[in-house]
Amino acid sequence: MHPDEVYEEIRARSGARKLRSLEVLHAVCREQCENGSRDFSAATIARLGAPRGGPAAQTIHNQTGDDYKLLMRAWLNHAGGSPRKGKNIVPDSAEDFLSRIREPEIRYFVGTLLAANTKLRGEVKVLKQNANVVIDRRKAETAPTAPNTVQVLPASHGLTPTERDALRDAISDARFSDEGWTGDEHGRVFNSKGRPIFRIGFITAIRKILGS
């Protein structure tokens, strides 16, 4: 179905407050298509539409933003079919993911974990590229400076004291008590209503990063 037809169908069932945002989003997507772009991600469309009063990225990500996503998908298909990697309208970047977390403290904790995870992935990549070198696991102060030797650093290497304290606070007894959280043996965290707010491995991942 052509994006214009999708737009008219959504428009017919939308209220007056939503019509303006829908109109802006539709216009921005049309311009993206005419410019030959296939970037119809929520972050990009929201940024381009912001000066005109278009919907924010968080609004598009919300369940109430399904109509916006439907229209963006129609334009994406019209512009050339399947989205390229990293240009999906479903948020898959760290920034898009973090923007969906409303609680500032939790957003900071998760951001720190994502940064640590990226750092660890980079270190693993370096080790794979140097698979034939000798890995010296002795303490840094006693390790010889021999050529072709890779020093294995702790997961917390590079974190500031403030970042370490933030991670430590995220799984502290005081934090769990104040928020009414509970954890299980798999590292999950549940809120006071028993709903999981962090997936399996959250607590254990922080402990590994902190080396505790």
For the record, the structure tokens of 175 come out as: 């934090």
90 pLDDT band, cuts 50/70/90, is very low
pLDDT, mean over the chain: 80
CA dihedral 29, 71, 91, 101 (to 10 degrees): 110
Q: What are phi and psi of 194, to 5 degrees?
A: 85, 10
Location of structure tokens 């923007």? 99
Query: Helix or strand or coil: residue 114?
Result: helix
Q: For 117-148, how does the pLDDT look when each residue is reduced to its tens digit (9 = 90+)?
A: 777 877 777 777 766 555 555 655 554 555 55
CA angle 68/69/73 to nearest 5° reads: 120
**Would you say residue 66 has pLDDT above 70?**
yes
Whether 44 has a pLDDT exceeding 70, the answer reads yes
Say if CB 89 and CB 76 are below 8 A apart.
yes
Q: What is the pLDDT of residue 87?
A: 42
Query: Confidence class of residue 91 from pLDDT cuts 50, 70 and 90?
Result: very low
- Both tokens of residue 204? 């254990």
Instruction: Give the pLDDT of residue 211.
Output: 79
pLDDT single digits (tens) 93-123: 566 566 667 676 677 778 778 778 777 877 7
Structure tokens belonging to residue 37? 């772009």
Whether residue 67 contacts residue 22, with contact meaning beta carbons closer than 8 Å, is answered with yes
